[in-house]
């Protein structure tokens, strides 16, 4: 690599060690390109997912589900967090070692800021380094949004999701501000660990993106677990006290309060662009603060790309991975792959049992003008799915929205054991034009969750047949 004591000239510079950026960096280094990856924290090699996101949170889902009533909550939680820390440390070191093992790759730890559209200054722990690159990838991810509730930002009881999963003490009383995916997942996790959990949601309902029948089943699961859900809640203040915080909120026209040991801000995440000096590079951002990109993930400077959460797309690790494929196609491929190629992209909410979706809901399909038929069954009534009984998890429901004329699968919502895996089968079928009848009549292993499709898709509960 062409370098001096405090400067480097390379082919590819990646700012941020996330999923998409590291995938491109590794691929290009293996092709012999000179690559630098900059990560500002030595606790974030590999990005959000293995350190403070998917891996630790889903590991905590697993650990919390194995706590028995006789297990002391604090002891079980402390043991579980310790185990999770071992996993994240292993992944973090593996990501660093994997990149450093590539002959033409260098990892710098420190904050990066653009000097111009080809040059970045890195305040590395070993001293300032100037990196000049032919291509630059911005892969800095996102940061938690802290609502502007009086007293919240300055409260010593405020925690972000990353902070909460790193503390060894289990909060006995946890308030969660925000009833989206993050809030619901953490509510389910910490309730199962033994905490008293209250979700404050400002809208009239959680699961408001789901059809009413799905939302009712999902909310009942949470409530039956002992989670308190306060919808239409206007949190007006968080007030620190002696050993606890008081959450003040308006609900049903009355001012109420709740004493808690921790307040989790779960109001979403925003693209992490602060301090990057994007203006110096001529890189435009959107009104929402994301790096503006086209369908090929090029920014307003064609040699600069943005991957992952920072470009304002869906905040999923697998989308960041697909971003890397698009960028690699631009750098060393045919240059035709684009974000517009994506269809039937699934998503999963890791409550217990998990809820996974793909495509359109019933409401969305009707609003789009489709004539439809709806197939749906409670998991407990699916005869062809004995696995649910074998693993003692019969809660939930499966639902398919089908095109009445063509038998095309328009969408599905699976609230069931193994839903995070089943949804991938449905997504693959949708992407490849597999009709609902084919999925219904396919041969699946037994006993498995997939064979539920043999029953559910035939269980038509509503039709627009005229």
Q: 356 — phi, psi (to 5°)?
A: -120, 145
CATH code where residue 406 lies: 3.30.390.30
Distance CA(450)–CA(441), nearest Å, equals 12
Same domain, 256 and 335: no
430 close to 341: Cβ distance less than 8 angstroms: no
- Full-model pTM: 0.93
- How many domains does the chain divide into? 3
User: What pLDDT does 49 receive?
Assistant: 85
User: In 3D, which of 228, 182, 217, 196 has the Cα closest to residue 398?
Assistant: 217
Does 151 map to a domain? no
Does 149 map to a domain? no
Bridge-based pairing state of the strands 228-231 and 196-201: parallel
What value does the CA radius of gyration of the chain take, rounded to a whole number of Å? 24
Q: In what order do the strands lie in the sheet with 355-359?
A: 347-349, 355-359, 409-415, 397-403, 372-378, 460-463
User: What pLDDT does 384 receive?
Assistant: 92
CB atoms within 10 A of CB 244: 15
Same domain, 33 and 139: yes
Same domain, 258 and 279: no
User: In 3D, which of 210, 186, 221, 214 has the Cα closest to residue 200?
Assistant: 186
Same domain, 428 and 332: no
Whether 85 is a known active-site residue: answer no
Last residue within a domain, chosen from 312, 341, 370: 341
Q: How is 313-346 classified by DSSP, letter by letter? A: S---HHHHHHHHHHHHHHHHS-S---GGG--S--
Last residue within a domain, chosen from 205, 240, 267: 267
Does 153 map to a domain? no
Does 123 map to a domain? yes
CB atoms within 10 A of CB 460: 13
Distance CA(393)–CA(82), nearest Å, equals 27
Token look-up 């990856």 returns 37
Does 417 map to a domain? yes
Last residue within a domain, chosen from 267, 301, 328: 267
Same domain, 249 and 332: no
Q: How is 370-433 classified by DSSP, letter by letter? A: --EEEEEEEGGG-TT-THHHHTT----EEEEEEETTT--EEEEEEESTTHHHHHHHHHHHHHTT
Distance CA(267)–CA(183), nearest Å, equals 8
Catalytic residue (one of 111, 166, 392, 446): 446
Q: Mean pLDDT for each 10-residue chunk of the chain (466 residues)?
A: 70 96 97 96 88 88 90 92 93 93 96 97 92 98 95 96 93 96 96 96 94 97 97 96 96 94 95 96 96 98 97 94 97 97 96 97 97 97 94 97 97 98 98 97 96 96 87
User: What pLDDT does 466 receive?
Assistant: 67
Same domain, 314 and 298: yes
Q: Would you state the torsion angle of the CA atoms of residues 378, 381, 384, 387, taken in this order, to the nearest 10 degrees?
A: 80
Same domain, 275 and 139: yes
Same domain, 23 and 124: yes
User: What pLDDT does 5 receive?
Assistant: 53
User: What pLDDT does 80 receive?
Assistant: 92
395 Cβ neighbours under 8 A, 6+ residues apart:
217, 221, 353, 379, 380, 415, 416
358 close to 430: Cβ distance less than 8 angstroms: yes
User: What pLDDT does 48 receive?
Assistant: 87
359 close to 410: Cβ distance less than 8 angstroms: yes
Does 413 map to a domain? yes
Angle between helices 181-193 and 54-65 (to 10 degrees): 40
User: Which DSSP symbol is given to 43?
Assistant: T
| Beta-ladder partners of 222 | none
257 close to 236: Cβ distance less than 8 angstroms: no
296 close to 316: Cβ distance less than 8 angstroms: no
Same domain, 67 and 186: no
Same domain, 320 and 360: no
User: Which DSSP symbol is given to 128?
Assistant: E
Same domain, 303 and 402: no
Q: By residue range, what is the domain housing residue 102?
A: 7-143+270-341
CATH code where residue 237 lies: 3.50.50.60
Same domain, 11 and 95: yes
């Amino acid at each position: 690599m062409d370098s001096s004591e405090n400067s480097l000239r390379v082919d590819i510079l990646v700012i941020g060690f996330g999923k998409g950026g590291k995938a491109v960096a590794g691929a290009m280094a293996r092709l012999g390109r000179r690559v630098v990856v900059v990560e500002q924290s030595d606790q974030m090699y590999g990005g959000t997912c293995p350190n403070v996101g998917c891996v630790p949170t889903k590991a905590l889902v697993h650990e919390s589900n194995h706590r028995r009533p006789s297990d002391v909550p604090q002891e079980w939680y402390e043991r579980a967090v310790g185990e999770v820390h071992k996993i994240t440390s292993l992944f973090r070191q593996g990501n660093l070692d994997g990149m450093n093992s590539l002959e033409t790759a260098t990892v710098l730890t420190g904050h990066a800021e653009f000097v111009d559209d080809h040059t970045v200054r890195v305040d590395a722990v070993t001293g300032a380094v100037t990196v000049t690159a032919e291509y630059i990838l911005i892969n800095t991810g996102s940061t938690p949004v802290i609502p502007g509730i009086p007293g919240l930002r300055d409260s010593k009881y405020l925690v972000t999701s990353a902070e909460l999963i790193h503390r060894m003490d289990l909060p006995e009383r946890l308030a969660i501000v925000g009833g989206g995916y993050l809030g619901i997942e953490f509510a389910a996790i910490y309730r199962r660990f033994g905490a008293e959990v209250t979700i404050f949601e400002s809208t009239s309902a959680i699961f408001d993106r789901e059809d009413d029948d799905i939302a009712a089943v999902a909310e009942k699961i949470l409530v039956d677990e002992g989670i308190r859900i306060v919808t239409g809640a206007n949190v007006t203040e968080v007030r620190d006290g002696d050993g606890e915080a008081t959450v003040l909120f308006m609900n049903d026209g009355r001012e109420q309060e709740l004493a808690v040991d921790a307040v989790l801000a779960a109001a979403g995440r925003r693209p992490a662009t602060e301090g990057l000096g994007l203006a110096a590079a001529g890189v435009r951002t959107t009104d929402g603060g994301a790096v503006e990109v086209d369908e090929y993930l090029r920014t307003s400077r064609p040699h600069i790309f943005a991957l992952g959460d920072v470009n304002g797309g869906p905040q999923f690790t697998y989308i960041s991975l697909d971003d890397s494929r698009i960028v690699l196609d631009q750098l060393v491929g045919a240059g035709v792959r684009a974000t517009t190629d994506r269809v039937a992209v699934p998503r999963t909410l890791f409550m217990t049992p998990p809820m996974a979706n793909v495509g359109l809901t019933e409401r969305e399909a009707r609003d789009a003008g489709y004539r439809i038929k709806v197939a749906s069954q409670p998991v407990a009534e699916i005869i062809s799915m004995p696995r649910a009984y074998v693993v003692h998890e019969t809660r939930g429901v499966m639902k398919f929205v089908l095109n009445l004329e063509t038998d095309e699968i328009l969408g599905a919502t699976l609230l069931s054991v193994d839903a995070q895996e089943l949804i991938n089968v449905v997504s693959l079928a949708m992407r490849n034009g597999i009709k609902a009848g084919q999925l219904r009549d396919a041969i699946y292993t037994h006993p498995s969750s997939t064979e539920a499709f043999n029953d559910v898709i035939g269980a038509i509960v509503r039709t627009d047949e005229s």
